[in-house]
């Protein structure tokens, strides 16, 4: 199957082509503004499906809206008709097609042109009125508020929010791409005349900005966003794609003493805390117990022993652990416990606790094992 993608180097086009290749579609014909225009006729003759994603949304002159969103569409459809090619044609329109502005009017004209083409030729036509699309590779400081906010906040640049109460309707680029590939297989989500992405997020501009600033702050407070919320998860992925290339990494505070070190990695209010514990050879750490706090230990390098004693018993239990075997040891409540490095090298242990450490309520009581 030969798939023609116009606007191939644009935001949606780049993401779509990348996923088509991931799914082993190999015969993809890419057409963009820097493509030799004489090739369009040949491409239209060969295509088995057309994703028409090319368009104009930030022209220097208003007349370019019609030229780019109507004129080029007309040229594309005329070329298909010339070769009697009635393959399915998808066009990316916008919810602004319902509005009275030059951009919306040009998008509306492109829609009507495609519907008329479908009636005339019998070819299958798919019109998508996308709301605001966000995700990786979207150009900042252009026509996407989310791209601009993510880029500027990640780069310590100012942003401007005129009205934080404005309600935004948004679709994520991966959801768009999945819908388009479904349409390629004849499984488009069609509602009346138009097709649409099933997953639409509605949120205020102010809430979006607050989330993005919280993502930036998370490096300092070692938190992670609420990944159970679909929009937050998608927005965080988007934000990370705008990090400066020399700022992918960030430091953590290592609490170092003669025994080794202890470093908090992640803190969450509802999923607990993850830390990295390094013990020098012969060193024993711990010797305490908890009422409610519970932990999981995973030794990833070195070897040692984790000892337990129920606080009202004399019996000591031993679990020998090693980085040679990935074995998680649960630390139950009511048992005093410690961990000793039995090797000749540093022992590295990943430790998870069900709650972040609170010095006001440590729930940690010293008691020798």
Note the Cα 326 to chain centre separation in Å. 29
Over the Cα atoms of the chain, what is R_g? 29
pLDDT at res. 67: 52
Q: Whole-prediction pTM value?
A: 0.91
Active-site annotation holds for 103? yes
Contact 306, 368 (CB under 8 A): no
Alpha carbon distance 357, 355 (integer Å): 6
pLDDT at res. 99: 67
Catalytic residue selected from 31, 103, 117, 172: 103
pLDDT at res. 69: 55
Alpha carbon distance 346, 344 (integer Å): 7
Phi, psi of 326 (to 5 degrees): -75, 100
Task: List pLDDT tens digits, range 301-332.
Answer: 999 999 999 999 999 999 999 999 999 999 99
* Other residues' Cβ atoms within 10 Å of the Cβ of residue 244: 10
| 336 three-state secondary structure | strand
Q: Cβ neighbours of residue 100 under 8 Å, at least 6 residues apart? A: none
Place of tokens 């997953």: 199
Alpha carbon distance 366, 280 (integer Å): 21
pLDDT at res. 70: 60
Low-confidence ranges of the chain (pLDDT < 50): 56-66, 68
Contact 225, 236 (CB under 8 A): yes
Contact 267, 222 (CB under 8 A): yes
What's the residue count for the chain? 369
Domains and CATH numbers, the chain: 3-211 (3.40.50.720), 254-366 (2.60.120.10)
Task: List pLDDT tens digits, range 261-284.
Answer: 999 999 998 999 999 999 999 999
Long-range (24+ apart) CB contacts under 8 A made by 77-81 are 77/113, 77/114, 77/117, 79/40, 79/41, 79/44, 79/45, 80/44, 80/47, 80/50, 80/117, 80/121, 80/123, 81/117, 81/120, 81/121
Phi, psi of 45 (to 5 degrees): -70, -35
């Amino acid at each position: 199957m030969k798939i023609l993608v116009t606007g191939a180097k644009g935001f949606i086009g780049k993401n779509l082509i990348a996923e088509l290749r991931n799914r082993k579609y190999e015969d993809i014909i890419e057409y963009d503004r820097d493509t030799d225009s004489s090739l369009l006729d040949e491409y239209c003759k060969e295509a088995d499906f057309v994703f028409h994603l090319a368009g104009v949304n930030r022209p220097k002159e208003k007349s370019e809206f019609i030229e780019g969103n109507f004129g080029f569409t007309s040229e594309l459809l005329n070329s298909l008709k010339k070769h009697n090619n009635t393959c399915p044609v998808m066009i990316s329109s916008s919810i602004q097609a319902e509005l009275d502005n030059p951009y919306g009017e040009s998008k509306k004209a492109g829609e009507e042109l495609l519907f008329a083409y479908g009636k005339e030729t019998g070819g299958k036509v798919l019109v998508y009125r996308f709301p605001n699309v966000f995700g990786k590779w979207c150009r900042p400081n252009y026509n996407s508020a989310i791209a601009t906010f993510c880029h500027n906040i990640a780069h310590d640049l100012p942003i401007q929010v005129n009205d934080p109460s404005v309600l935004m309707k948004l679709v994520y680029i991966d959801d768009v791409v999945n819908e388009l590939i479904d349409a390629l297989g004849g499984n488009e989500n069609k509602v009346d005349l138009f097709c649409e992405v099933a997953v639409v997020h509605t949120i205020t501009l102010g809430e979006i900005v607050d989330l993005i600033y919280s993502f930036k702050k998370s490096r300092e407070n070692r938190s992670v966003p609420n990944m159970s919320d679909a929009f937050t998860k998608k927005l965080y992925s988007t934000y990370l794609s705008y990090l400066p290339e020399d700022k992918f990494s960030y430091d953590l505070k290592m609490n170092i003493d003669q025994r080794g070190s202890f470093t908090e990695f992640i803190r969450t209010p509802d999923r607990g805390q993850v830390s990295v514990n390094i013990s020098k050879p012969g060193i024993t750490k711990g010797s305490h117990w908890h009422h409610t706090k519970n932990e999981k230990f995973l030794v990833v390098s070195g070897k040692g022993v984790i000892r337990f004693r129920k606080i009202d018993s004399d019996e000591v239990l031993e679990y020998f652990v090693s980085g040679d075997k990935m074995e998680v040891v649960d630390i139950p409540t009511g048992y005093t416990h410690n961990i000793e490095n039995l090797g000749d090298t540093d022992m590295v242990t990943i430790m998870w606790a069900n709650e972040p450490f609170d010095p006001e309520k440590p729930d940690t009581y010293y008691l020798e094992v």
